[in-house]
Structure 1
Amino acid sequence: MGPLTGAGWTTSPPAGESLRVRVEEASAAAGVRRRITALAGRLGFGAERLGQVQLAATEAATNLAAHARQGEMLMRIVRDGGAAALEFVCVDRGPGIADVPVSRMDGYSTTGTLGLGLGSIERLADRSGLCSRPRAGTVLYARFLPPGTPAGRGAADAPFAGLTLPIDGEEECGDAYTVRLVDGTAYAMLCDGLGHGPLAARAAWEAVRGVHEAALPGRPADILQHVHRRMAPTRGGAVAVAAVEPAAGRVRFAGIGNVAGWIVGPERRQGMISVPGITGTHAKRIREHDYDLPPGAAVVLHSDGLTGRWGLADQPGLLGRDPLLIAASLLRDAGVRRDDRSVLAVTTSGWR
Structure 2
Amino acid sequence: MSARGELLTMDCEDVAWFRDQPEAARGSAAALGRRIGLGETRTAELVLAVAELTANITKHAVNGSLLLRVLRNQDVAGVEVVVVDGGPGMADVPAALRDGTSTAGTLGIGLGAVRRLADSFDIHSQLGMGTVQVAGFWPRSSRPSGTGEVVVSGITRAIGGEEVCGDAWVARVDTGEETAPEHRQDTGPRRVTGLVPPDRSATTDTRTPGERLFGASPGSDALPRSGAKHRSVPVRAAVAGPGRGTLVMSCDGLGHGPMAALAAQAAVKAFRTGEPRTPEQAMERVHRALRGTRGAAVAIARIEPDGRVLFCGVGNITSALVTGTTRASLISHPGIVGSQMHQLRTYENRLPARGALIMHSDGLSERWTPADLASVLHHPPALIAAHLLRQAGTRRDDASAVVAKAAG
TM-score by length of 1: 0.89
The aligned residue for residue 287 of structure 2 is: 228
CA deviation vs aligned residue, 1:244-292 (integer Å, no higher than 9, x gap): 22x4232110011011111112430111111110000111101110012
Shift of 1:44: 1.2
The aligned residue for residue 288 of structure 1 is: 346
Q: Is the 8 A contact 1:11 1:179 kept in 2?
A: no
Compare relative contact order (CA 8 Å, sep 6+) and give the higher one, 1 or 2.
Answer: 2
Tell me how far apart the structure 1 counterparts of residues 334 and 71 of structure 2 sit (CA, whole Å).
32
Q: Is the 8 A contact 1:12 1:163 kept in 2?
A: no
- Secondary structure of the 1:278 match is coil
- Secondary structure of the 1:200 match is helix
The aligned residue for residue 300 of structure 1 is: 358
Unpaired runs of 5+ in structure 1?
A: 1-6
The aligned residue for residue 184 of structure 2 is: none
- Secondary structure of the 1:60 match is helix
Shift of 1:76: 1.1
- Secondary structure of the 1:201 match is helix
Single out whichever of 112-121 and 54-63 deviates more from structure 2: 112-121
The aligned residue for residue 335 of structure 1 is: 393
- Secondary structure of the 2:378 match is coil
The aligned residue for residue 20 of structure 1 is: 17
Shift of 1:348: 1.4
Q: Of the candidates 323, 328, 337, which is equivalent to residue 270 of structure 1?
A: 328
Tell me how far apart the structure 2 counterparts of residues 225 and 55 of structure 1 sit (CA, whole Å).
46
Tell me how far apart the structure 2 counterparts of residues 206 and 114 of structure 1 sit (CA, whole Å).
43
The alignment status of 1:142 with 2:201, answered yes or no, reads no
The aligned residue for residue 370 of structure 2 is: 312
Shift of 1:113: 7.0
Q: Partner amino acid for 1:45?
A: L
- Secondary structure of the 2:91 match is coil
The alignment status of 1:207 with 2:199, answered yes or no, reads no
Rg bigger for which structure?
2
CA deviation vs aligned residue, 1:122-142 (integer Å, no higher than 9, x gap): 100111110001110000111
Shift of 1:107: 1.5
Tell me how far apart the structure 1 counterparts of residues 101 and 60 of structure 2 sit (CA, whole Å).
13
Identity %: 41
Tell me how far apart the structure 1 counterparts of residues 321 and 291 of structure 2 sit (CA, whole Å).
30
The aligned residue for residue 182 of structure 1 is: 174
Q: Partner amino acid for 2:281?
A: D
Question: Of Structure 1 and Structure 2, which has the larger fraction of its residues in strand?
Answer: 1
Shift of 1:210: 1.4
The aligned residue for residue 303 of structure 2 is: 244
Q: Is the 8 A contact 1:44 1:147 kept in 2?
A: no
Q: Of the candidates 167, 171, 178, which is equivalent to residue 163 of structure 2?
A: 171
Shift of 1:333: 1.0
Single out whichever of 235-244 and 179-188 deviates more from structure 2: 179-188
Tell me how far apart the structure 1 counterparts of residues 114 and 336 of structure 2 sit (CA, whole Å).
44
Q: Is the 8 A contact 2:313 2:333 kept in 1?
A: yes
The aligned residue for residue 253 of structure 2 is: 193
The aligned residue for residue 80 of structure 1 is: 73
List structure 1 runs of 4+ shifted beyond 6 angstroms: none
Shift of 1:145: 1.2
CA deviation vs aligned residue, 1:70-128 (integer Å, no higher than 9, x gap): 11101111233554221111111111011111110012245487853210111001111
Tell me how far apart the structure 2 counterparts of residues 346 and 62 of structure 1 sit (CA, whole Å).
32
Tell me how far apart the structure 1 counterparts of residues 262 and 107 of structure 2 sit (CA, whole Å).
47
Q: Partner amino acid for 1:18?
A: V
RMSD of aligned residue pairs (Cα, Å): 2.3
- Secondary structure of the 2:19 match is strand
Tell me how far apart the structure 1 counterparts of residues 8 and 125 of structure 2 sit (CA, whole Å).
32
Unpaired runs of 5+ in structure 2?
A: 1-6, 176-243
C-alpha distance 117-223 of structure 1, shift in aligned 2 (>3 A): same
Aligned pairs for 1:21-170 within 5 A: 21-23=18-20, 28-81=21-74, 83-109=76-102, 111=104, 116-152=109-145, 159-170=151-162
- Secondary structure of the 2:287 match is helix
TM-score by length of 2: 0.77
Q: Partner amino acid for 1:170?
A: E
Shift of 1:294: 1.3
Q: Is the 8 A contact 2:325 2:371 kept in 1?
A: no
